[in-house]
Amino acid sequence: MADKKKKKDEGVLAEAAEAVGTVVGKVAAALGVKGEKNTPPTNVKIPKLAKSGKSRLPRKEKKANKKAADAASRK
């Protein structure tokens, strides 16, 4: 019901455009032209960065290790 009312309100140009579109679609389907629905997606998913294998030490342990390394290098 609502579609019929909309078509009456659209006008002659809209009806002509719709008719041309359906004809072009039928011709394209007959020729085997693939539409946009069949194309593969253009978005390529970017993988996340690999996590590093570094061990994370707390601040106090880092300072103690640095202090020990400095003392060893001074000997």
Q: Which pair of structure tokens corresponds to residue 69?
A: 């390394």
Residue 2 resides in a domain = yes
Query: Into how many domains does the chain fold?
Result: 1
Which tens digits make up the pLDDT trace of 10-67? 678 888 888 888 888 888 877 776 666 656 667 888 888 887 777 776 888 889 999 9
Q: Tell me which residue has tokens 């400095």.
A: 70
Residue 49 resides in a domain = no
Residue 47 resides in a domain = no
Other CB atoms within 10 A of residue 16 CB: 10
Residue 24 resides in a domain = yes
State which residues form the domain around 9.
1-36
What secondary structure letter does DSSP report for 59?
A: H
**pTM of the predicted structure, to 2 decimals:** 0.33
Residue 50 resides in a domain = no
Residue 11 resides in a domain = yes
